[in-house]
Amino acid sequence: MEYRIEHDTMGEVKVPTEHFWGAQTQRSLENFCIGTETIPMEVIRSFAVLKSAAATANQKLGKMDSSKAEAIAEACNDILQNKYPDEFPLKVWQTGSGTQSNMNLNEVIAHIVNANHSDITIHPNDDVNMSQSSNDTFPTAMNMAAVIMIHEKLIPAIDTLIATMKRLEDENYDVIKIGRTHLQDAVPLRFSQEISGWRGMLEVSKDQIIQASDQLRKIAIGGTAVGTGLNCPAGFDKLCCEEITKLAGEKFEASPNKFHALTSKDGYVFTSGALKGLAANLMKIANDIRWLANGPRCGLGEITIPENEPGSSIMPGKVNPTQCEAITMIAIQVMGNDTTIGIGASQGNFELNVFMPVLAYNMIQSIRLLSDGIISLEKNCVSGIKAKREKMESNLNNSLMLVTCLSPVIGYENAAHCAHKAYEEDKTLKEAVLELGFLSEEEYDKIVRPEKMV
């Protein structure tokens, strides 16, 4: 491998000739050989948007000439077009402020401009980082990445699953089945009503996530090192946010309190909590689906789900609810990520939180996993759910909890007596009621009508 010599304020560093990064990126690579987790590309892309917006804002404020600003914006656009996918290798496990990742962007952008424009010389700190600090750019980029991912990936995924649930409700409106509480038989309901509960969970989670993520639209840019805005011209934060909004397609505004924006990550905690709420609901939905589909002959077996792949290396013909298993694994990962985010956010000291790379990594992973997992669950499982109507009807007619509708007629204790007699003597509920003489057959048939109990 060939090398060139780069320098920073600490001296000279050998950098691979084939790469566009500089001395500080190289130092980070050498000093933090920890794990395999790198800063998510979604954060890198948000950084590129931010650097382009900052250059434009500086140009409008008269701090940077238009040729430099345009060249920086051009390099940032190339990054956004994925022309330099191998230039952002830094690990999550670096400085907690994300300074080295900020410098990674600054160095790569400067080298791209200098390579493509012989008449322009761009400095990573003096030009690309003008009016900025790592302490306000990294929290800005991590907020941007979360908002953009939520609205471009997660919300559309949730909407797709909601639409499928609505279709299943329409298809199964006439199906009446037994309800269950405590994993025990309960009173009847329509299968469509059960599905509507799943849909409602998704709709509420969606609303909660949107509400929470709005907190991340107030960004730290303009606060520079400690929130005072040192070396940042008046109006830069507002102009930068306007440019970010144009480029990102999502609205962002300057935080009115930069001291809060730099040191507190409560918006991240709030948003992660909403993601955890979605994860909890997905866990419940997936568990319901696999319980209802369990069998095929020795379980509840009230629905069928698509058979996507063989389920066993030893048992021929076995098929498992693998999509449900995948989404439940995702759910617990998101819950674990939320714990990390909560702890990390609690560790802000004085004017800065120094857990930002791990916060960003966990947030982006949660959003990505939920988005991809929901799409997979909808496509490979939920869209193919079919009610086994005969099995549902058999379970319904065999349930002792139909006795509930008799309580107002024969009394709670008498109704309980009928249920116990039927269970203990392996009789139908109707047989037990008639044998105990509480009702005639005609009266029983008139009262015990599941379609009127839903």
- Mind telling me the catalytic residues? 182, 312
Q: 3-8 and 11-16 as β-strands: parallel, antiparallel, unpaired?
A: antiparallel
* Closest C-alpha to 22, from 34, 44, 5, 38: 5
What is the number of H-type helices and E-type strands within the chain?
17, 8
What tokens does 390 get? 């005969």
Q: How far apart are the first and last CA of the chain?
A: 73
Three-state DSSP at 226 gives coil
Residue type, 213: S
* Closest C-alpha to 276, from 362, 152, 177: 362
Run of H or E including 395: helix 389-398
CA–CA separation, 261 vs 141, rounded Å? 12
* Closest C-alpha to 210, from 274, 283, 162: 274
CA–CA separation, 324 vs 380, rounded Å? 10
